[in-house]
Structure 1
Amino acid sequence: MFSKTLLCLAIVSASTPVLADTVWLKNGDKLSGKIILFDGGKLLIQTEYAGAVPIDWKQVKTLASDQELLVKQDAYTGEKAKSLQAADEGKVTLANGEAPKTVELASVQQILKPKPVVEDLVWKGNIDAALDYQRADKDTDDYDIDFKTTARHGRWRHIAEGEYNREFQDGVVTTDNWRAEYSLDGFITDKWFWEGRLVYKRDKVEDLSRQRTVGTGPGYQFWDDELGAFSLGSLVNRTDYEYRDGSQENFYSLAMKWDYNRYLIGKKVEFFTNGEVGKPLSGVADYALDAEMGLRYKVTDWASLNLKAERDIVSGSDEADLSKTRYTAGFGVTW
C-alpha cells in the first residue's frame, strides 16, 4: 500500500508542469522560460537552452506568465497584473483578482517587473576601470575610471556620467583631471525629448583648470531596447573657462551630441560610441569634439572587459595641448 502511494505521488509530480512563462508565436512555435522585459518592440525571454532570446513583438500570438508584471499601454501609465494568461491570437489577459482584463497586444507599449517605489523604473549603467603600468626609460603609471548610469521612469530620464584620469611619469604627476555630468530628459512624445544638462571639469595640471557648461535643447530617441539604443540631441550651451593664472572667459555654442550602443553575439559583446561636436558662437575656437568609441565583452552577467579610444579636439584654439587622444583597456561592471 505504501509503495502504491509513493508511485502515485511520483506520477502526479512528473505530470505537474513546472511553472514557467510561455510565449506562443504566430508561426506555431512556442518558447518557455522567464519573461525579462518588453520594450522597443522586442520581448526578451530568458531560456535554459538558448540564454536571453529577443522576439519581435509583431510575431507574438499570445503569452502567459506566473510573474507579477507591470503592463503599460502608453508611455507613462501602467497596470500591475498578478499574472498573464493566454488569450485569442493578438491578445493577452491581465489576471488581477476577480476582474481579469483582456487587451490587444498591439496596444501594449512595455512590460517590466514593478519596482518597490517607482514601479516603472528602468535602471542600467556601467563602471569601467583601466590601469596601465609601463617600466622603461620613463616609468609610467596610468589610472582611468569611468561610469555612466541611466534611470528612466514615466516621461523622465536621468543620466549621470563621470570620469577620473591620473598619470605619473617617473613619480611626477602629468595628468590629473575629473569630469562630472548630469542630464535630465523630459519626453514630449515617445521619441522626442527636451534635455537639460550640467557639466563640470577640473584639471590640476593643464592651464585650463576649470570648465563649466550649462546646455539645453531638443533630442530624438531613435530606439532604446534590450539590444541597444541610439539618440541624437542638439544643444545651446553656455561655457565658462577658468585658467590657472586666474583669467576667465565665457562663450555660447551650438552642439550636436550622440549616444549609440549595440549588443552583439547574444549580448556578450557591446559596441558603443558617444560624444559631442560643438561650434562656438565667438572666436574662442573653430570647433570642439569630444568623443569615445569602444567594445565591452561580458565575462559574467555583471563583469566585463573593455577597450576604448577617446579623442578630444579643439580646432583653432591658441592652446594646442587641448587636443589629445587616449587608448585604454580594462575591466568593469555592468547592470
Structure 2
Amino acid sequence: MKIMTRGWVLLGGVLLAACAVGPVQGPPEPVATVGERRAVEAVAQPGLTPQARFREALRMLEDGRARQARAELVAYLQEKPRSDVARDLLRQLDEDSNVYYPASYREITLASGESLSTLAHRYLGSVYQFYALAKYNGIAEPRRLRAGQILKIPLTETARASFAVEDDPESLAREMAQEAEAAALTTDAALPQEAAAEAETKVEAEADTGAAVAGANPAGEETEEESLPEPALQPAAVAAVPAGEPRELHRRALNAYRAQDLDKAIDLWNRVLVLDPEHENARLYRAQALELQSKLRRLN
C-alpha cells in the first residue's frame, strides 16, 4: 500500500513539473542586416533633360531636400561633367559651411524683397551660393525667410569689397565715373581704326571658316557652360516703411546705386527726401547719382 502511494506521489510531481515548463518556443525572428536597415538612397528622376534636372535640383535645395538634390546634381554631372556650377553646388552640400566660407562674418538685416540668392549675388558673387549661405546661417529651408531677420555674411574677398562700397558709396561713384570716361576715350580712339579692323576681321574669319564652332574648342569639346536656370527663391515679405523712418529707404537706395540701377536709386532718394527733407546724405548721394546718370546718357 505504501509503495502504491509513493508511486502516485511521484507521478503527480512529474505532471506538475510538465505543466510548469510552458509552451515550446518557436525559432527566433530573423535579424535585419545592416544593408536592410540602411536608409534607401535617393534616386534621380528618370526622363529629365539636363536643364529640367538642374532646375529640379535647385528647387529641392530651396526646399531643404539635400539628399534628393544631390541625386539630381550627380545625374546632371553625368551628362554635363564640365559644369562648374553643379560641382560647386555639390561642394556646398557635402562640405561644412565653416570650411566653405571663412569664420569671420558681418551681420546684416534682411530687407523687404530680398532673398538668400540676391544676397549671395550681391556679397558673394554668385546666386548659386544661396545654399551654402543658408547652411552658414543654420537655415534648413532657404526659401523661408522674413524681413527683419538677422543674417551672417561670410567675409570673403568679394564680400569685403561689397561692404567697402556700401560703407563708402562715393568710391563707387568715382569708379563708375572713371569707367565712363575710359569708355568714352576708348570709343573716340577706336573710331579711326574701325574700318581697318573690320576688314582685318573679315579676312581672318574667311581664313578660319570651318576651323572652330562657337562654344567649342578645335576638338569639338564644350568650353562654356550653358545658360542655367537661376534659383527662384521667394523674397522676404514686403513690409511697409513707416513714415518718419527713411533709413530703410536710404539703405535700399544705396544698394540700387551699387548695382548701377540709377533710376531706382534716384527714385528711392526722392522718397527719402519727401519723408525727411533735411536728410543730407540722401540729398548728396542723389546729386551724385543724377550727375553720373547724365554722363552715362551722353555716352549712349
- TM-score, normalised via structure 2 length: 0.24
Larger helix share, 1 or 2: 2
Which structure has more relative contact order (CA 8 Å, sep 6+)? It is 2
Greater C-alpha Rg? 2
Larger strand share, 1 or 2: 1
